[in-house]
Structure 1
Amino acid sequence: MKKSAMTEDGKTPSELIDARIAELGDWRGAMLAKLRSIILQADPDIVEEWKWRGVPVWSHAGIICTGETYKNVVKMTFAKGAALEDPTGLFNASLEGNTRRAIDFQEGDGIDEAALEALIRAAIALNAGSGRARKKPAQA
């Protein structure tokens, strides 16, 4: 993982993400930690960032995804998810937009690690310009 700049409070984004995981202290922290591990495993050049007043962000040639935590869900939002193939049907939220797609994880949900890692790699390829965007239906 490449290092990113210090934030305003003198901590690295990685340190702030560590702190968020620890402060959650429940299934959401464990889920965010697991998702983070899969993301970082997918590519050694991923950069961790901390944006929008406390949202973990993972980037490589642009934003790949974010990891937001809510009361009943950990939401993994892919910045260009609408342009990605999703052959295993991981996307289950934010399906109506033209740009983003998300995966909502609830307590007790499992993770298809291989499919998620493939989706992350596809997002990186798309950001780098070598990815294949989903074909749009022909217009009549």
Structure 2
Amino acid sequence: MRDEGMPGAEPPSRLIDARIAALGDWRGETLARVRALIRQTDPAVVEEVKWRKPSNGMLGVPVWSHGGIICTGEVYRDKVKLTFAKGAALADPSGLFNAGLEGNVRRAIDIREGEEIDGEALKALIRAAVALNVSTAAKRRTQPAPART
């Protein structure tokens, strides 16, 4: 697992640790569990924190990437939302996606208090997202540049 952040800045993994600790409730526990599943599934995952602004207490949003964004972990009053950047292109045989289903690109999993996420099904989605990101990146590298006229 790699951290990507600004030189001299707090490493993203510590920012995510702080975010989880600051929550101090079921949302922090849920975010920690999801994070652990992501890191177990893909040890090469890159953790980042993006979109730090006053509306989220400058804590930002945890982002997990490998060859592109896999998913984000947003925290709301009543849910933890995992948004898969290319979720519409992923098979979801276990039916984990329960939000953003009308979108053409993203899909999300809303986890509410008392709900337990199927760890194996989430790991399968993560593996599929990584495979899609890596294959898309490989295609971009092998396609010839458009001819200039």
Provide the C-alpha distance between the structure 1 equivalents of 2:26 and 2:98, rounded to a whole number of angstroms: 19
Decide whether the 8 Å contact of 1:58 with 1:65 is kept in 2.
Answer: yes
Pairwise CA RMSD: 1.2
AA aligned to 1:25 is G
For residues 45 and 61 of structure 2, what CA distance do their matches in structure 1 show?
16
Cα distance change of structure 1 residues 70 and 99 upon mapping to structure 2, 3 Å threshold: same
Is the 8 Å Cα contact of residues 78 and 112 (structure 2) preserved in structure 1? yes
Aligned to 2:34, the other structure's residue is in SS state helix
Shift of 1:2: 1.9
Equivalences, count: 129
Partner SS, residue 128 of structure 1: helix
Q: Could you list the runs of 5+ residues in structure 2 that have no partner in the other structure?
A: 53-59, 137-149
Corresponding residue of 1:101 = 107
- State yes or no: 1:32 paired with 2:62: no
- Cα pair 2:3 2:48 within 8 Å, conserved: no
**Which structure 2 residues correspond to residues 81-92 of structure 1 after superposition, within 5 A?**
81-92=87-98
Looking at structure 1, the residues matched to 45 and 13 of structure 2 have their Cα atoms a distance apart, in angstroms, of: 12
5+ long unaligned stretches in structure 1: 131-140
* Percent of aligned pairs with the same amino acid: 67
Q: Distance in 2 between matches of 1:97 and 1:47?
A: 25
Which is greater in Rg? 2
Q: Per-residue deviation at 1:7?
A: 6.6
Report the Cα distance in structure 2 between the residues aligned to 1:40 and 1:90, rounded to whole angstroms. Answer: 19
Distance in structure 1 (CA, Å) of the matches to 2:100 and 2:12: 26
- Relative to its length, the structure with more helix (as a share) is 2
Relative to the length of structure 1, the TM-score reads: 0.89
Flag as ranges the 4+ runs of structure 1 deviating above 3 A.
Answer: none
Q: Partner residue of 1:136?
A: none
Question: Which residue type is aligned with residue 86 of structure 1?
Answer: D
Partners in 1 of 2:11 and 2:6 — Cα distance?
A: 4
TM-score of the aligned structures, taking structure 2 as reference length: 0.84
Q: Helix, strand or coil: the match of 1:124?
A: helix
State whether residues 94 and 100 of structure 1, in contact with CA within 8 Å, keep that contact through their aligned partners in structure 2.
yes
Following superposition, the deviation at residue 61 of structure 1 comes to: 0.3
